[in-house]
Amino acid sequence: MILAQALQQSARIFSHNGIEDSHLEARVLVQHVLGVSPAQVHTQTEQALSQEQVKTLRGLIDRRLRREPAAYIIGHKEFYGVDYCVDSRVLIPRPETELLVEKGLEYGRSRADYLWSLKRPVLIADVGTGCGAIAISLALNLPQSRVYAMDISFSALEVARLNCEHHCVSEQIRLLQGDLLEPLPEPVDLIVANLPYIRNSALANLSPEITDFEPRLAIDGGPSGLSQIRRLLQQVEERICPGGCLLFEIAHKQDQGVTSLINRYLRKARPEFMPDLSGVKRVVRVGF
Ligand SMILES: C[S@@+](CC[C@H](N)C(=O)[O-])C[C@H]1O[C@@H](n2cnc3c(N)ncnc32)[C@H](O)[C@@H]1O
């Protein structure tokens, strides 16, 4: 079998079995098995697969048909231009979360010179770091920062540690295990959080890729979807420096609920909501 046939056959199997984006899914697996780049998949269409590669590809297709996400099958996912190791211990980072990174960098860059003149870095806390994608993106793009990356899940932090080592930011990022801001040893300038925010009654409507494979702890936001966000808002004021900023991600139509919580727990604050590319109010910013 040659590469072009492998692509075509895999895409056909996916499409017959209701896997969306069948061509893209096929390309990801074929690329992985052959160890070729996205560009090479298009140029090396005549490359022959060995029997071993055909067998491996069949195994991966079977896993995908059982609805395991492609990112777990191949073991990595790109986020903000960088590749991260992922497995079932962590949520697969989503493209919409890149907005949180952009807004974090915007704030960090606006404060870096002033804080540097006080002889200190921008201090950042990433709450619910998972594989570390947000913390590492901020650290790589803001060398004048020091980041606390925190998660309640010890096994998620093991994945984050691997990613910090791969991207050479272990000196800049300190990993801490614990509940929300509880492990934070000092107040910080920027708090970023992508906490679970799906209502638990809505979990059953999600795709099997999410419900059967991603950690429940990473998606279950309790009865209202806002349980963890509510608890975070109760803790923020004591842990943020004057002039600081809180940024967190929410789901579609959670803006009103979040505004009520902010009015209740952060009386002087006025939240701003920032839309993602599909127009959903995705990131909430609160200044202090
Ligand atoms: C939606 S995932 C986000 C992962 C990663 N930050 C990202 O954006 O890809 C939420 C993360 O929050 C963690 N988490 C859930 N409850 C927590 C809590 N009470 N304290 C700290 N982390 C928590 C989960 O273990 C999970 O890693």
Which among 138, 134, 137, 172 has a CA at the least distance from the CA of 156? 134
pTM value is 0.96
CA 91 to centroid of ligand 1, rounded, Å: 8
Q: What is the mean pLDDT of each run of 10 residues along the chain (288 residues)?
A: 95 97 96 94 93 97 98 98 98 97 98 96 98 98 98 98 98 98 98 97 96 98 97 97 97 96 92 94 97
What pLDDT shows up at residue 74? 98
| Nearest ligand 1 atom to alpha carbon 179 | 20
Which among 190, 189, 186, 125 has a CA at the least distance from the CA of 151? 125
Best residue among 228, 232, 235, 283 to mutate for probing ligand 1, ranked by most atoms within 8 Å of CB: 228
> CA torsion 240→246→251→257, rounded to 10°?
70
What pLDDT shows up at residue 237? 95
CA 38 to centroid of ligand 1, rounded, Å: 31
What pLDDT shows up at residue 268? 83
Angle of CA points 75, 81, 82, to nearest 5°: 40
